[in-house]
Chains A and B, each alone.
Chain A
């Protein structure tokens, strides 16, 4: 398999097309615009469709329409644009349509800036739109994973009839790394629920409304059951030098690359640290965290994020007081340096 030096944002589009994605609807926004630009070039080449929508709201509703037709479809944006899409995302989740949404997070709140941040964790993992829904959330930390996890997102979206999000940030989108691309996916699941404009599918209905509270409750219960199955089957995570670790560092996305660097340097100093990186943010690796928490050798967890501690809340919920949790976040588009992470780890060690 050949390697290509490529930007994360460009790897997403290639991965999507290799996964059989046929339609792209999006609106330009830094630092995600390259995804739209790359899609505009490559989708038509393979017989797919690209459309620059009038707005983020337009784009996500076009995704809703195309997903109803049963094709693999995607959109991409960055934080403020994702906020605008939330209405549509809630409808898509309610109507149980599969689609893939890429969020290249930037600094917020408001217009913020275009530097990388991870402040969308809450709006993507915890909701953002209204109602009792969940998104499948994948958090890549390399250009390779930008392609791999986009492909996986299409697979999981179809498997569970659920929107899946690739949650990345400006750095992963902009940086170039060697990427190996697999052969294209050629077999796809049958979608007998889709509207194909044929006699056989005429009775199908795509909707999220139900006036009857009992029926809507049933629908919600069905959704919760689906989420439970996803939690059972689809957790993905990375363990790095955790075997005898006394301090467990946790980070997702780009921060995990820095934390990994810090782990190596701390290990060289004889400090027993390791990293647990959630690759899926929903489903969250609850069991794995609990297993590590149950080890008597593990002293505490130390969380690093480019936000105000959003994944931190989930870790705390899982630990439920069983082990201490420390946090160090950067915001506004600042990225931790490896040195800074090392200093923070040392500082907390001294304090404990």
Chain B
């Protein structure tokens, strides 16, 4: 059978009648006479047939003349936004790796508006084959300049011919993509005569086969005629491809590492939903799942608004987190809100913790009932915000001036110094927790000692943290004794 008669035969992967095509006859395509798309379509369909993957085939059509590729391909069809076919293909292929994904794109779609999508999908080595029809012009929109339009080529938006000074140079996509690590096959072919159609058939087969064999991303660029856009006869177009286009866009195989690439084996991890809570750290992270392990005192009516502030690295956020967790374990409503983003990069960090017997409204603490200040700037920032009769606990090993407020209770706890003595300044925050618990009195000591290692899972610090907590409690008890005396 001759090449031309074979390509005229209907493939299984091609509809017999184009019923999706609106108006006109369902036997001929919507492409212009002499257009390259029809031939490329048939070569793809033929390859899908030959490899027996019609049912698995997913064709993603672009925006451009081939937007209606789904009129013709008897495979699963997705129509994508302009330039986005490789992203859509990525999504599909990841969701259903047991498919054969063909992204069909034109030059405006692939090399202009979708240049990022194609580079990135290629670079990730997505399991897909991209067929890139390069006809150096925008066909569907009526002959405007494409990223692959040649220098001096006239289009409706380069009426005097493409000028490199103004529009830059035609993009050679095959060359660009072949520099990437992941793609296994990159080739450029042309369709201007029987011989070149045959070479294109070979390249398309090779690219699709690479995907069928699980080797990864393959790419075929095809120099193809657009007689309408070029304002040439089909015959003139063939000559133009040969003599002009192919001189700038050299046909050839730019990359072929198919044989050196191990097939990707898709191992699908199947997880029993019963295990989700454990895998999502829901059952393991929870204190209240251990409810009843230790008794807690009854809930009191109260609204505690705590601000904890210091340098990043002083464990400010984790102190708040531990407090909120413990209060939750005592059946209080709690919320925890960090300062975030650039605010934290200045070196200071703070968080708001609310503890209440009833549902908490705003999670932001504007006027704390308790301020725990671990450095000087924090004291300066929040001292005036605290409510009268509130409590300030501050680290006097780092803050050398005592707060000025007379309407609040002030407790100096040299947390950093005390923590350093028992082994690490990292536990200074837990010294503060001890001080807080001793002063506020609504949290159970035994419960806290049990809970700390459940919340801060770092083994190295567990003993130290409990000791630091006890040290903080002791310090306050001593202070209070002195006051009484």
Does B80 make an interface contact (CB < 8 A)? yes
> How far is A62 from B89 in the complex, measured between Cα atoms in Å?
7
How many angstroms from the CA of A3 to the CA of B328 in the assembled complex?
Answer: 9
Chain B proximity of A97: nearest CB distance (Å): 10
CB-based closest 7 A-B pairs? A65-B91, A261-B361, A62-B91, A2-B289, A61-B87, A197-B99, A207-B79
Given contacts A53-B87, A171-B363, A195-B78, contact A176 B93 (CB under 8 A): no
**Which of A11-37 touch B at CB < 8 Å?**
14, 17-18, 22-23, 25, 30-31
- Which residue of B23, B78, B288 has the most chain A CB atoms within 10 A of its CB atom? B78
Task: Say yes or no: is B370 at the interface (Cβ < 8 Å to chain A).
Answer: no
B262 adjacent to chain A (CB < 8 Å): no
Interchain residue pairs with CB less than 8 A apart (17) = A4-B282, A5-B321, A54-B87, A54-B116, A58-B116, A62-B90, A62-B94, A65-B60, A170-B340, A195-B92, A205-B20, A205-B77, A258-B361, A264-B361, A335-B364, A337-B366, A338-B361
Q: Which of A5, A44, A177, A181 has the most CB of B within 10 A?
A: A5
Q: A268 on the interface (CB 8 Å rule)?
A: no
Additional pairs, 4, CB under 8 Å, beyond known A3-B286, A65-B78, A65-B91: A45-B279, A177-B334, A178-B334, A335-B362
Contact, CB under 8 Å: B58 / A5: no
Asked if B338 is at the interface of the complex by the 8 Å CB criterion, the answer is yes
Q: A-side interface residues toward B, CB under 8 Å?
A: 2-6, 14, 17-18, 22-23, 25, 30-31, 42, 44-47, 49, 51, 53-55, 57-59, 61-71, 73, 87-88, 91, 95, 114, 170-171, 174-178, 181, 183-184, 186, 195-199, 201-202, 204-209, 211-212, 215, 254, 257-258, 260-261, 264, 335, 337-338
Does B363 lie within 8 Å of A5, measured CB to CB? no
In the assembled complex, the Cα of A254 lies from the Cα of B102 at a distance in Å of: 45
B269 x A51 contact (CB < 8 A): no
Interface size on B, residues (CB 8 A): 74
A46 proximity list for chain B (CB < 8 A): 269, 271, 276, 279-280
Binding site for A on B (CB under 8 A): 20, 22-23, 54-58, 60, 67-68, 70, 74-81, 84, 87-96, 98-100, 116-117, 120, 268-271, 273, 276-277, 279-283, 285-289, 321, 324-325, 328, 333-338, 340-342, 359-364, 366
Are the CB atoms of A66 and B94 closer together than 8 Å?
yes
A23-B116 in contact (CB<8A): no
Q: Are A175 and B335 in contact (CB under 8 A)?
A: yes
Flag if B362 contacts A257 (CB, 8 Å). yes
How far does the Cβ of A335 sit from chain B's closest Cβ, in whole Å?
6
Instruction: Using known A-B contacts A65-B93, A186-B273, determine if residue A176 contacts B80 with beta carbons closer than 8 Å.
Output: no
Given contacts A66-B91, A197-B57, contact A5 B361 (CB under 8 A): no
The residue that A5 contacts in the complex, of B270, B271, B336, with Cβ under 8 A, is B336
Residues of A close to B76: CB separation below 8 A: 195-197, 201-202, 204
